[in-house]
């Protein structure tokens, strides 16, 4: 009995140790957005997750990794940058790979949606792509869950919305009995990459980004 207890305690302590200091890489240099346009594009991400807006969590917060007793430890971006910066930067890098004149416009969480649109419009690009985050949070214990609620809006030079796409839901991304945080390091950024590709490859999004 003592051996079984010791083994279980060791596993819990190991799980707690693995859960500390987890980071997710959102600087995705391999996004395949399929965007080819002669229009200049301003890209901004507005992080309106409630716990970011009220300052309860840092802007680089992307979820929690739980120890053996379920105690949560914050997961942050690999870069240390705000999640919004990494998302915008990844999109712009992908567009530039295709020869698009794209640039990042930083949007502070305190901005309203209308203020964010005006900020993008002030950049003077032919088109703007705005990601609005209402939720993006991974939760890892034995399995990796991802809850998300985000919207992509494409605006013209006058700030008019040309098209809008939303993704909202919760997904189980798999798990591991030995090292769930490692599964989260792989699967959560991979799901982010697929989601961005799905959004930008929508036919009306690609059409809206044309000048």
> Could you give the domains of the chain?
2-208 (3.40.50.10610)
* pLDDT of the residue at 8: 40
Say whether 41 sits in a helix, a strand or coil: strand
CA-angle at 23, arms to 17 and 24, nearest 5°: 135
75 contact partners, CB below 8 Å, separation of at least 6: 22, 23, 24, 61, 62, 63, 64, 65, 138, 140, 184
User: In the prediction, which pLDDT does 68 show?
Assistant: 73
Q: Is residue 5 over pLDDT 50?
A: no
- Stretch (H or E) spanning 37: none
| pLDDT for the residue numbered 115 | 98
Rounded to two decimals, the pTM is 0.89
Q: Which residues pair with 153 in a beta bridge?
A: 130, 164
Closest CA to 60 of 51, 68, 69: 51
pLDDT in the model for residue 17: 47
What H or E segment, with its residue span, contains residue 155? Answer: strand 143-156
| Residue 146 three-state SS | strand
Please provide residue 152's backbone torsions phi and psi, each rounded to the nearest 5 degrees.
-105, 125
Separation between Cα atoms, residue 62 and residue 80, nearest integer Å: 11
Read off the pLDDT of residues 28-79 as tens digits, 9 standing for 90 and up. Answer: 777 899 999 999 999 999 999 999 999 999 999 999 999 877 899 999 999 9
pLDDT above 70: percentage of residues in the chain: 91
pLDDT at 13 over 70: no
Quick: pLDDT tens for 65-114.
998 778 999 999 999 999 999 999 999 999 999 999 999 999 999 999 99
């Amino acid at each position: 009995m003592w051996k079984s207890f010791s083994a279980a305690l060791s596993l819990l302590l190991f799980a707690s140790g693995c859960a500390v200091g987890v980071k997710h890489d959102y600087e995705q240099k391999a996004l395949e957005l399929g965007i080819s346009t002669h229009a200049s594009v301003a890209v901004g991400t507005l992080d309106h997750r409630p716990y970011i807006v009220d300052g309860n969590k840092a802007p680089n917060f992307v979820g929690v990794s739980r120890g053996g007793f379920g105690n949560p430890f914050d997961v942050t971006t690999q870069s240390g940058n705000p999640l919004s910066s990494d998302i915008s930067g990844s999109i712009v890098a992908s567009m530039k790979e295709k020869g698009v004149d794209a640039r990042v416009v930083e949007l502070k969480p305190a901005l309203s949606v209308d203020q964010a649109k005006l900020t993008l419009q002030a950049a003077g690009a032919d088109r703007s792509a705005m990601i609005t985050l209402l939720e993006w949070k991974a939760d890892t214990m034995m399995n990796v869950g991802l809850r998300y609620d985000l919207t992509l809006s494409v605006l013209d030079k006058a700030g008019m919305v040309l098209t809008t796409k939303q993704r909202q839901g919760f997904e189980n991304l798999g798990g591991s009995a030995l090292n769930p945080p490692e599964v989260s390091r792989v699967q959560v950024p991979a799901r982010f990459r697929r989601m961005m590709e799905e959004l930008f490859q929508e036919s009306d999004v690609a059409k809206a980004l044309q000048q």
